[in-house]
């Protein structure tokens, strides 16, 4: 793509951006020195910047553009709805066709026992709703002491005060007085870094049993729910051992704890089924959704609620004093409906399950032969590479954590590949519409960037070994 002629120059854009725009999760002093990347267009799996450079977007924006960029059907759905009814609320006994259609549609694709949706505009808001909802549920049920929510270290559940407290990101908790009371964290099922010499399956059971130990310690009469992502996304695409989820499910059921599956990343096809809960046979009481619900074309999220929870709240709960101006926003809802139609009619999710997901898995696994790679794991359209100076021992780098990852990420961008780093993990989450041909192109870029990264790390003397994870 050539530059779009009538736009200001990149330098001009960057100057105004630096003067007036405060970016999320950014060190503004540092960013304003280098200047922001100005993205002006998306098409399929590609993005274009203001200078005409093309990038393969292996992150689907921020894990969300599941059907890819540039689908005019969604633009038309938004326009049509804006012309007819751009806004009306769903408070005070009112509703409208887009929110009715979307609630029904979501219920039809969600696991059978989940048939009720409370809408928000984001995953953070939906998780804040979940905190209030599970506590209100237990109070209504006659067990008001059941208030504590158990989550996991290195989980990501959003950035608002409630949802960031649910999350287990230490860097976030260190700013702004978090976590809020009655939220506690247990360890994560991250075998590569924390499993030592245990087998992944033994490790999975051990980490699940930590939940049971915590419940015994605090007393199930004080615990409302356990929340977890089927696969941790922002924490670094951490795919749990296969023993983990069945054990978690057993523990939640036996101790009468609600289970919240945070499907903000895993939902809407990313793991090759509609939800990560389908892939791992999880039976949650609540699911958090956002991102892929509209493929990111509109800000919309929600909590899908089980029949059991909904029936208690509907028969005995009275008014749930909670809601957002934009709960069930008509334009966002119309766009989400159109997105789900496309996912269904174009068999996008079954292609991930049967064709492109297995293809990516095979090609991605080959990366474990690269001398800089300690592990290459993937599932559906999610993948991670653990960078290591000594792959055999799953060793970390001696340099500060994240140094090698940042260098590799910058090399990727210079080569036209958007692949994120989480400390020294490289991660991908490509649009679900990526073809096998495009996966081949993605893989050759990844190999090239890893080769280059190894060279640069060697040149800079950054290949010294830190901790070995196995003896």
Q: According to the binding rule CB under 6 A, does residue 118 interact with ligand PXG?
A: no
By CB under 6 A, the residues from 289 to 318 that bind ligand PXG are 290, 301
CA distance 400 to 376: 22
For ligand PXG, the closer CB: 264 or 331: 264
Q: According to the binding rule CB under 6 A, does residue 124 interact with ligand PXG?
A: yes
Find the part of the chain contacting ligand PXG (CB under 6 A) among 96-104, 119-127, 220-228, 458-466. 119-127
By CB under 6 A, the residues from 15 to 54 that bind ligand PXG are none
* Closest distance to ligand PXG from the beta carbon of 3 (Å): 29
Among 14, 50, 122, 165, binds ligand PXG (CB under 6 A): 122
CA distance 14 to 77: 33
Find the part of the chain contacting ligand PXG (CB under 6 A) among 86-94, 155-163, 271-279, 448-456. 155-163
For ligand PXG, the closer CB: 146 or 421: 421
Q: According to the binding rule CB under 6 A, does residue 123 interact with ligand PXG?
A: yes
CA distance 383 to 136: 37
CA distance 203 to 197: 9
* Closest distance to ligand PXG from the beta carbon of 220 (Å): 25
Q: According to the binding rule CB under 6 A, does residue 128 interact with ligand PXG?
A: no
* Closest distance to ligand PXG from the beta carbon of 62 (Å): 5
Q: According to the binding rule CB under 6 A, does residue 264 interact with ligand PXG?
A: yes
Query: What is the x/- site pattern for ligand PXG, positions 181-220, by CB under 6 A?
Result: ----------------------------------------
Q: What are phi and psi of 355, to 5 degrees?
A: -125, -70
Residue nearest to ligand PXG (CB): 123
Q: According to the binding rule CB under 6 A, does residue 433 interact with ligand PXG?
A: no
* Continuous segment of H or E residues that includes residue 62: helix 60-63
Among 44, 61, 158, 374, binds ligand PXG (CB under 6 A): 158
Tokens, residue 375: 């592990």
Q: According to the binding rule CB under 6 A, does residue 234 interact with ligand PXG?
A: yes
Residue 372 CB neighbour total at 10 angstroms: 22
By CB under 6 A, the residues from 57 to 86 that bind ligand PXG are 62
Please choose, from the candidates 349, 347, 386, the residue with its C-alpha nearest in 3D space to the C-alpha of residue 364.
Answer: 386
CA distance 374 to 386: 5
Among 116, 135, 152, 157, binds ligand PXG (CB under 6 A): 157
For ligand PXG, the closer CB: 124 or 303: 124
Find the part of the chain contacting ligand PXG (CB under 6 A) among 111-119, 226-234, 274-282, 402-410. 226-234
Cα dist. 274→103, 264, 397, 439 in Å? 15, 12, 37, 21
Q: According to the binding rule CB under 6 A, does residue 262 interact with ligand PXG?
A: yes
Q: According to the binding rule CB under 6 A, does residue 169 interact with ligand PXG?
A: no
CA distance 201 to 204: 5
Q: According to the binding rule CB under 6 A, does residue 151 interact with ligand PXG?
A: no
CA distance 40 to 24: 19
Q: According to the binding rule CB under 6 A, does residue 140 interact with ligand PXG?
A: no
* Closest distance to ligand PXG from the beta carbon of 25 (Å): 7
For ligand PXG, the closer CB: 412 or 463: 412
Residues with Cβ < 8 Å from 375, sequence gap 6 or more? 192, 368, 384, 385, 386, 391, 394
Buried b / exposed e along 146-181 (16+ C-beta atoms within 10 A): bbbbbbbebbbbbbeebbbbbbbbeebeeeeebbee
CA distance 289 to 300: 9
CA distance 302 to 461: 48
CA distance 372 to 386: 8
Q: What are phi and psi of 288, to 5 degrees?
A: -95, 135
Kindly list the residues in this chain that would bind ligand PXG in the complex (CB under 6 A): 62, 122-124, 127, 156-158, 229, 233-234, 262, 264-265, 288, 290, 301
């Amino acid at each position: 793509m050539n530059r779009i002629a009538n736009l200001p120059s990149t330098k001009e854009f960057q100057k105004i951006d630096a003067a007036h725009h405060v970016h999320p999760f950014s060190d503004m002093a540092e960013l304003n020195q280098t200047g922001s990347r100005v993205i002006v267009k998306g098409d399929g799996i590609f993005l274009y910047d203001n200078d005409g450079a093309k990038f393969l977007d292996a992150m689907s924006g921020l894990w969300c553009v599941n059907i890819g960029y540039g689908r005019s059907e969604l633009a038309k759905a938004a326009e049509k709805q804006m012309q007819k009814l751009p806004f009306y609320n769903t408070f005070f006994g009112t509703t409208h066709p887009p929110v009715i259609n979307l609630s029904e549609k979501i219920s039809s694709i969600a696991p059978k026992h989940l048939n009720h949706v409370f809408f928000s505009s984001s995953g953070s808001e939906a998780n804040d709703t979940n905190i209030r909802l599970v506590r209100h549920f237990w109070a209504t049920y006659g067990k008001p002491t059941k208030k504590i929510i158990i989550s996991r270290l290195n989980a990501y559940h959003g950035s608002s005060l409630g949802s960031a407290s649910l999350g287990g990101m230490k860097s976030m908790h260190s700013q702004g007085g978090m976590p809020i009371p009655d939220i506690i964290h247990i360890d994560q099922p991250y075998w590569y870094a924390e499993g030592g010499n245990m087998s992944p399956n033994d490790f999975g059971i051990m980490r699940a049993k930590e939940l049971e130990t915590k419940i015994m310690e605090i007393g199930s009469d004080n615990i409302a729910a356990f929340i977890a992502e089927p696969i941790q996304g922002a924490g670094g695409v951490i795919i749990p051992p296969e023993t983990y989820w069945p054990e978690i499910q057993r523990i939640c059921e036996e101790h009468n704890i609600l289970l919240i599956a945070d499907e903000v990343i895993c939902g809407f096809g990313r793991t090759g089924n509609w939800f990560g809960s389908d892939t791992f046979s999880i039976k949650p009481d609540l699911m958090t959704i956002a991102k892929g619900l509209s493929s990111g074309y509109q800000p919309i999220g929600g909590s899908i609620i089980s029949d059991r929870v909904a029936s208690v709240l509907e028969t005995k709960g009275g008014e749930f004093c909670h809601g957002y101006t934009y709960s069930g926003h008509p334009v966002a809802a119309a766009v989400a409906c159109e997105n789900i139609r496309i996912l269904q009619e174009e068999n996008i999710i079954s292609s991930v399950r049967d064709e492109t997901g297995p293809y990516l898995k095979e090609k991605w696994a080959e990366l474990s032969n690269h001398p800089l790679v300690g592990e290459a794991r993937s599932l559906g359209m999610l993948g991670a590479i653990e960078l290591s100076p000594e792959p055999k021992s799953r060793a970390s780098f001696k340099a500060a954590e994240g140094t090698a990852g940042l260098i590799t990420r910058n090399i990727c961008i210079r080569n036209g590949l958007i692949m994120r780093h989480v400390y020294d993990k490289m991660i991908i989450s490509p649009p679900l519409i990526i073809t096998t041909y495009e996966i081949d192109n993605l893989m050759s870029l990844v190999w090239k960037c890893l080769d280059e990264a190894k060279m640069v790390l060697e040149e800079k003397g950054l290949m010294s070994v830190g901790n070995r994870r196995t003896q």
